[in-house]
A and B are shown apart, each in its own frame.
Chain A
């Protein structure tokens, strides 16, 4: 067992443990904070996978924007379900069974596939993945249209969110 395998396993334990707490904790504000921990673990995974830009985006966009948005939403709506009553459905074992079934099925499929046992080759010297990513996002031969589509989608979602959430309409 090499060093990066140990780091991966620690990171996986962090992610899965905090993800379990996200879906089981009674207090929703704590669940949102555990989500931050899980997202941070995923950012570490991106760093291990040598996708540094995505690790930074994960911290800035997911933790900095999305998780904070969740915390604000929990605080704005918390009076209703605060700490009283069940937080999960009465038949929660059915989703648990479904999740376990999907997990065992997927793990079975992944283990049986010998191609998935491979380890990663070194990124060739001279290949600058960050530069390639930037070029791919703006090059007409590559992904400029999906990129623009994503920005239009974000703008539409922004306008829609402001319109829906603003309370006092005439």
Chain B
């Protein structure tokens, strides 16, 4: 294991930035959720890397990563259900056009 911890952190930072760019620049609501998945994965890389490099005997890092998995699954299920429901009623998946609750 001759990889410095900073390599993982920099990779995660780059992945997070790419995901943020996707979330903010895409028009399609499903593409926005794809960006959110990339950001969650970046966070998970950080959690597992810190677990391995700092406290491999305690499992807090891995347990937190598993919680992130569960939350990501819940988020995608509800998010895609909302998008499909909106698509059925309004025939659009463009985030800008879903503005019924905008004031």
Residues of A near any B CB (own CB < 8 A): 2, 4-5, 8, 12, 15-16, 19-20, 22-23, 28, 31-32, 35, 38-39, 42, 45-46, 48-51, 53-54, 57-58, 61-62, 65-66, 69-70, 72-74, 76-77, 80-81, 86-89, 92, 94-96, 98-100, 102-103, 106-107, 110-111, 113, 116-124, 127, 129, 132-133, 136-137, 142-143, 146-147, 150-151, 153-154, 156-158, 160-162, 164-165, 167
- The reply to whether B18 and A99 contact each other, CB–CB distance below 8 Å, is yes
Q: Which 8 pairs show the lowest CB-CB distances between chains A and B? A: A23-B22, A157-B74, A95-B24, A165-B81, A106-B13, A99-B17, A161-B81, A150-B70
A95 to B18 CA separation, bound complex (whole angstroms): 10
Chain B residues positioned under 8 Å from A31 (CB to CB): 31, 34
Chain A residues positioned under 8 Å from B35 (CB to CB): 22-23
In the complex, 5 of the A-B residue pairs with CB atoms within 8 angstroms, ordered by the A residue number, are: A38-B15, A119-B1, A143-B60, A164-B78, A167-B85
- The reply to whether B2 and A2 contact each other, CB–CB distance below 8 Å, is yes
- The reply to whether A77 and B84 contact each other, CB–CB distance below 8 Å, is yes
- The reply to whether A70 and B80 contact each other, CB–CB distance below 8 Å, is yes
A23 to B39 CA separation, bound complex (whole angstroms): 12
Select one of B28, B58, B82 contacting A28, CB under 8 A.
B28
- The reply to whether A154 and B74 contact each other, CB–CB distance below 8 Å, is yes
A28-B31, A127-B56 as given contacts; A118 in contact with B5, CB under 8 Å: yes
A151 to B69 CA separation, bound complex (whole angstroms): 11
- The reply to whether B14 and A42 contact each other, CB–CB distance below 8 Å, is no
0/1 per residue, B12-45, Cβ < 8 Å to A? 0111111111111111101101110110010011
Chain B residues positioned under 8 Å from A66 (CB to CB): 37, 72-73, 76
Chain A residues positioned under 8 Å from B13 (CB to CB): 102-103, 106-107, 110
Chain A residues positioned under 8 Å from B84 (CB to CB): 73, 76-77, 165
The CB with the most chain A CB atoms within 10 A, among B23, B34, B71, is that of B34
0/1 per residue, B44-88, Cβ < 8 Å to A? 110011011100111110110111011111111110111111011
A48 to B8 CA separation, bound complex (whole angstroms): 11
- The reply to whether B5 and A165 contact each other, CB–CB distance below 8 Å, is no
- The reply to whether B78 and A53 contact each other, CB–CB distance below 8 Å, is no
